[in-house]
Every structure is written in structure tokens, then in C-alpha cells.
Amino acid sequence: QVFYDSFEESFDGRWIVSDKDDYKGVWKHSKSEGHDDYGLLVSEMAKKYAIVKELDEAVNLKDGTTVLQFETRLQGGLECGGAYLKYLSPQDAGWKPKEFDNESPYSIMFGPDKCGATNKVHFILKHKNPKSGEYIEHHLKYPPSVPSDKLTHVYTAILKPDNEVSILIDGDEKKKASFLSAEDFEPPLIPSKTIPDPDDKKPEDWDERAKIPDPDAVKPENWDEDAPMEIEDEEAVKPEGWLDDEPDEIDDPEATKPEDWDDEEDGEWEAPKIENPKCEIAPGCGEWKRPMKRNPA
């Protein structure tokens, strides 16, 4: 075991808070809501946070299995933000943890990230191209989603010497991938054997159309141009229990307006939407419409 911290004791002197201007959030050593166990708490919403633990020596991942694991609780929910860790690369001589910023070199980035359409447990490997010497971020494709509740969850990444990586949430494997597979990482760590010919040119007589109208085709005599392709299924019946007056989504009743929300600067605050729980047990919600079927005519 290289490093472990339960945070039962204060982090002062052991972890260093970045003093860069981007990170205005205040870290606190606090109990989790409803529990007696301590942890690191991000105390303000809509703020950026960064805190660093510098190890005595660099960790070599070349041999054996490496396990990266941490526990986090989004007890206030997560509307737009990241709760991930960056495992830093060895920094330049003279670098200090309080100087950490978004440009600080890292080897692995791992953890929850959610905002808008983005909802994933990030896993990014930053790898040095052996030919160009450039460091490239390789993103895990199709990562698992972040649990939507406000409970504690354990995130684990297991890196194996056979070039496989497994992502677990609460001990359950949610994703398994290979560092050597182009199907699992974007861009792939192993370049394709072939690339498009940069000197190739499109022939002058190239026709972009894959298909053309059949010049020999004739419209059938009984073709009705005024009849629609599909019509309503008149035999369809609205399912019993359909909730006509219930919307598919409702305001999250547990959401609260952030204390630092400014209506003039940020606009009118609206609670985020969640799926209507009534619709989960009903055959459907909202206005019912007959399904369409192919016009028999």
C-alpha cells in the first residue's frame, strides 16, 4: 500500500490547498451529514477546489497491479462539476503543491464528472508518444455513469500488467477495457497500421451520389399521391391507468437555490428536472395519442 488517508484527522499540514486564483472554494474537515465519520468537505457551491497530497517518491506503475480508490459523497447533489482526482506526474524541480493548477502535468485522471449532457466516471491516461515525445490524453470510451443519489460511493480503478483496466463502483465492475484496443480509448494508444493517403486526390469524374433514381421505373397506375404513408390506428385503445394530466418530468423537490445565486447576474433560478415518479408505475403520462400504422390503402 503506497498511500491511504481516512481523513479522521485534520488535513492541515498533510494536504496542501492550491493558492491559484481559480480555486476559491474553502476546504473543511467535517462530518458527513447524518454520520460520525469525517472527511474533506467542499463547503461552497459553484466554486472550484484543488488540494494536493505530495508523496515522498514517485510511484512506478510498470510492474504488478495498481489500485486507485477513493470514496466520495455528493450529499448536496451534483448539477455541474467534477469530483475526480488527478494523479500527478513528477513535477519540475522547485514545483510546490500550492502552485497546482489545471496545467500541472498528470498521469491519470479518474472520478465523477457531470454537467448538462455529460455524466460519466472519467478515466483518462496521459501517455507519452514514444516517437513525437508529446503527451497525449487518452479517454476511456463509454465510461459508466455517475450514481444519481446523494449517498456515499467508492470508485475504484484497477490497472493490470496485462494492459487491462477495470472501473468499479461500490465493488461492482462497471467497465472493463484494454489499453491496447482502439475500441476502448480515444485516441487509441496503439496507432492504426494504415492512415489516409495525404497525397491522394479525388478523381475529376468522381460522382458523389451512391444511388440515383431508376430511369426505367414507372409509377404504378393505382398509385395514390394524396394518401399518407401512415394513418392512426383506430383500433388502438388508451391503456388503463394512463395519467393524462401528469408531465413526464417534474422539478426536483430536494433541489435548493444556491446561497450565492444572483438573479440579476445568473438569471432566474430554476430547479433541475427529474423523472416523474408517478410515471414509473403508470403505463404513461401526458396527452395520449393513437399510434400510427402503415396505410393499408
Extents of the domains making up the chain? 16-186, 229-297
Amino acid at 259: E
Shared fold status for 16-186 and 229-297? no
Rounded CA gap, 191 and 179, in Å? 12
Rounded CA gap, 266 and 115, in Å? 17
Q: Nearest Cα to 143, choosing from 191, 188, 177, 106?
A: 177
Q: Look over the chain and give the mean of its residue pLDDT values, rounded to a whole number.
A: 90
Contact 180, 125 (CB under 8 A): no
Cα atoms in the 13 Å half-sphere on the side-chain side of 288: 16
Encode pLDDT of 156-172 as tens digits.
999 999 999 999 999 99
Residue carrying the nine cell digits 488535513 = 11
Cα-trace Rg, the chain: 27
Encode pLDDT of 51-77 as tens digits.
999 988 888 877 789 999 999 999 888
For residue 2, is pLDDT > 80?
A: yes
Provide the CATH number for the domain formed by 229-297 in this structure.
2.10.250.10
Rounded (5°) CA angle 106-15-144: 50
How much is the average pLDDT of 203-215? Answer: 94
Residue 87: strand, helix, or coil: strand
- Put simply, whether the predicted model's pTM sits higher than 0.75 gets the answer no
Rounded CA gap, 208 and 206, in Å? 6
Structural fold of domain 16-186? Jelly Rolls (2.60.120)
Contact 175, 140 (CB under 8 A): yes
Residue 175: strand, helix, or coil: strand
- Percent of the chain scored above 70 by pLDDT? 100
Rounded CA gap, 46 and 80, in Å? 8
Model pLDDT, residue 213: 94
Residue carrying the nine cell digits 404513408 = 229
Residue 6 CB partners (closer than 8 Å, separation 6+)? 38
For residue 93, is pLDDT > 80?
A: no
